Amino acid sequence: MSEIANYVAHGAAQITPAIVDKVLRNVPMWKVEFAAINAPHFPHLVNQLEFLADAVEDAAEGAYKDLPYYALSAAVFALTYAHRKNDIIPDFLGTFGRADDSSVVRAVLILHEKAFATYAEKQGFDWEKITDKP
């Protein structure tokens, strides 16, 4: 996990407010894209991506002002990473094409568990369902 955690931390450190704004404009389309993901080996990936998308929307639009920027930037990084088709493991590679996406998303949720658990509680999400082990 430490390699993925370092990768996520490095990626999140590159996120600027301009990137957050750009991602915010794309989130509605990305939610549709994420909902269509067929990854039976990673059954929680879609719910986790939708959760992170909701968190980004709420924080970036000012509906939820308590999400620390480091958690927001990590979520933006994870969404951007999952949206890309050609990443560490290209998505078209069948069974394991989403393994890297799932690892990045789970690393974000684990690294920023307290911030996202608080967000989930305040927004009425079931945190246990979001973080349930695949």
pTM (global) more than 0.85: yes
Report the alpha-carbon distance of residue 96 to residue 40 in Å, rounded. 10
Judged against a pLDDT cut of 60, whether residue 133 lies above it is answered with no
- Helical H runs in the chain? 2-13, 17-35, 45-60, 69-83, 99-111, 113-123, 127-131
Query: Which residue range(s) make up the domain with 29?
Result: 2-131
In the chain, the percentage of residues whose pLDDT exceeds 70 is 90
pLDDT digits (tens, 9 = 90+) for 16-63: 999 999 999 999 999 999 998 888 888 899 999 999 999 999 999 999
The total domain count for the chain is 1
Report the alpha-carbon distance of residue 37 to residue 29 in Å, rounded. 13
Q: Measured in whole angstroms, how far is the alpha carbon of residue 3 from the centre of its chain?
A: 17
The rounded mean pLDDT for the chain is 90
